[in-house]
Every structure is written in C-alpha cells, then in structure tokens.
Amino acid sequence: MNAKEIRAPRLAYGETLVKLGAELDNLVVLDADLAHATMTTLFRGQFPERFFNVGIAEQNMMGIASGLALAGFMPFASTFAVFGAGRAFEQVRNTICYPRLNVKIAVTHAGITVGEDGGSHQSVEDISLMRSIPNMTVMVPADAVETEKAVRAAAAFDGPVYLRIPRPPAPVFIEAGTKFEIGKADILRDGRDVCLCATGLMVFQAVQAAEQLHAAGIEATVVNFHTIKPIDERLIIELAQRVGKMITVEEHSIIGGLGSAVAEVLSEHRPVYLKRIGIQDRFGQSGAPDQLLEAYGLTAANIVGAAKTLLARQAE
C-alpha cells in the first residue's frame, strides 16, 4: 500500500470543522490560544460568532465547553494533547464526563512527533488518562482521510469524545470509501503468521512492516485501531484465535494505551503472546519527528524485528 500524498491530519481536522459548521448550527469551537496550530483558525474564519478563543486557560476552556453543552451546543474544544488531557484532566472528568455532556475534546500535537519542542510538549500518556474516565470515547485516526471520518463520527455521536491528532504531515493511505464505525477496528491486510494492531501514525508503519515481512515470507494481518475506547474486543479475540501472535504499535506509552487495552482483552479471554511496541515508560525529547521515531523504536523496521522475534519465540 502506497501513500497517495502527504497531508497533516490537523489540517484535515480544521477543514472538517468548517464543513461541519455549515451542516450543524449547534457546532461551536473553542481554543486556548493555539488556533493556528490546531487549525481551528479555519473555523474561526468562516464562523467567527461560533468560535471562542478563551486564552491560555485550558481548565476554564473545559468548563466553558461544559456550559455551552448544557445550553444545547456541541463544543469542539481544542488545544495540544498534553494540556487537553493532562492539565485539564479533572475538569474533563468532572464537568464533561461525569454528567456525560456532548463535548468533543480534539487535541493535536500528540506523541513524540511533536518534534523539536521536546518532552515537555510531547504527550505520551494522554490515551491512558482519557481511556480511564467513565463515559469517555477515545479515537486516534491514522491519517488525514481518517481524521475527517473520525471528526464526523464524533459529531454524530452523543457524548464526550477524546480525539487524538498528531502534528506532522503524514502519508495519506486510508481509502476514502472506508466505513468508519466507532469501536470497530479495520482489518487492512490479512495474514496468518502474525497480527499487527496499530493506532494513529503507527498504522502506516505497520502497513509498511507487513510488506517487508511479506518479502521475507512472513504474512502479517494489519489492523487499524482508530478507536481505543471502546476497544474492539470481539475482533481482538477473533484475531488471537485465528493468528495467535499479536503485536501492538502506538506512538504512546506502553502503559495504558492500545497495548494495555489489547493486553486486558487477551489476558481475560484468550491469552497469547503479545509484544507491545510503544514508548517504553520514558519522556520524549527534542529532535526531528523521524529521528525521534527511530530513537524510540517506532519504525517499520522495529515492527519487522519484533515480529521475527515473536515468531521465533513461538517456535520454541
């Protein structure tokens, strides 16, 4: 599978908000002084009366979003992942999720591909935080095409959603016609030897890894987990039965993210060998996104290596 183009998912986020703004009168957008980075500035340009820049105050932004939802609007609140999930965690928990209000928290600049800004701004724990809150749905789109689908799905869903979007431009490879259903993972490739479960930018790496494995005579299944919560439990169990060797890949800590979610399902329903590829309980640092992905072991080559190791272990 080759990429058709390179495009920033956050640009797709901003453009989708503009499209949805024309379709939905009750859509409002909030930002905390990062509108040019999160791309909500596109919405502001079209619908200034429905855009609220609350300044550098993420906690207040979540409270205001809560109030707007109580008044019948559907707020999309945007900032960087580290602030939306981290700084405002308790506001998200108590004023949005506890009363199950229809607020979408759409964050950009998630993970280490933030790059040069360094570890202070690279959220490696946000999925874990958001996944643990009752009533919350967590989505992590794989590219710009899927970002539009995820934003639309979030808008059509009644309840709190956390939408995790990266910073850099990324290969576009999800087919435009792919159906997006919250909580249902997509099988991108079928193979009997090993199953690669990936999310976000790592889905493309997994696809590339599968091609390299194929060249080496190993057939990999590749699954795109665009929803981390609710996790597609049924499919995970089925894959464990059918393929049996599982690898998770995420640009997030191995603690609490996709790897944990898959491990939870496997260990309760069908224990099989599982390798979690992700950030190994460390913070990020400055560097170019590609440099960092390599340094943190998040490339197709790492996935290929892990698959071969896992297969060797199973053969013992």
Partner 1 sequence: MEPLAQGELSQLNKRIRQDIIRMIGTAKSGHPGGSLSCVEILSTLYFRVMNVDPEHPRWEGRDRFVLSKGHAAPALYAVLAHRGYFPPEELLSLRQFGSRLQGHPDMKKTPGVDASTGSLGQGLSIAVGLALGGRLGGKTYRVFVVVGDGEIQEGQFWEAAMAAAHYKLSAVTLVLDYNGLQIDGTCEEVMSLGNVGDKLAAFGFAVSEVDGHSIAQLESAFRLPAQDRPKCIIAHTHKGCGVSFMEDQVGWHGKAPNAEEVARALSELGGGSS
User: Which one, 28 or 310, has the nearer CB to partner 1?
Assistant: 28
CB 150, CB 141: distance < 8 Å: yes
CB 264, CB 232: distance < 8 Å: no
User: Which one, 39 or 68, has the nearer CB to partner 1?
Assistant: 68
User: Which one, 93 or 276, has the nearer CB to partner 1?
Assistant: 93
CB 124, CB 112: distance < 8 Å: yes
| Site track for partner 1 across 91-110, x = CB under 8 A | x--xx--xxx----------
Give the count of residues interacting with partner 1 (CB under 8 A). 29
Member of 1, 57, 182, 237 binding partner 1 (CB under 8 A): 57
Distance CA 134, CA 1 (A): 37
- 63 part of the interface to partner 1, by CB under 8 A: yes
User: Which one, 54 or 239, has the nearer CB to partner 1?
Assistant: 54
Tell me which stretch binds partner 1 (CB under 8 A): 71-79, 109-117, 161-169, 213-221.
71-79
b/e 208-217 (16+ beta carbons within 10 angstroms → b) = bbbeebeeee
User: Which one, 57 or 301, has the nearer CB to partner 1?
Assistant: 57
User: Which one, 28 or 220, has the nearer CB to partner 1?
Assistant: 28
Least distance in angstroms from the C-beta of 54 to partner 1: 6
Member of 62, 82, 114, 249 binding partner 1 (CB under 8 A): 62
Least distance in angstroms from the C-beta of 57 to partner 1: 4
User: Which one, 93 or 245, has the nearer CB to partner 1?
Assistant: 93
User: Helix (H, G, I), strand (E, B), or coil: what is residue 245?
Assistant: coil
Q: What is the DSSP string of 168-232?
A: S-EEE-S-TT----TT--EEEE--SSEEEEE-TTHHHHHHHHHHHHHHTT--EEEEE--EEES--
Distance CA 252, CA 126 (A): 8
- 264 part of the interface to partner 1, by CB under 8 A: no
- 160 part of the interface to partner 1, by CB under 8 A: no
- 22 part of the interface to partner 1, by CB under 8 A: no
10 Å CB burial of residue 255 (0-12, 13-18, 19+) is: middle
CB 125, CB 215: distance < 8 Å: no
Tell me which stretch binds partner 1 (CB under 8 A): 37-45, 51-59, 226-234, 261-269.
51-59
CA separation, residue 293 to residues 138, 241, 249, 275, 296 (Å): 23, 31, 12, 18, 5
> Which residues in this chain contact partner 1 in the complex, by CB under 8 A?
28, 49-50, 52, 54-55, 57, 59-60, 62-73, 75, 90-91, 94-95, 98-100
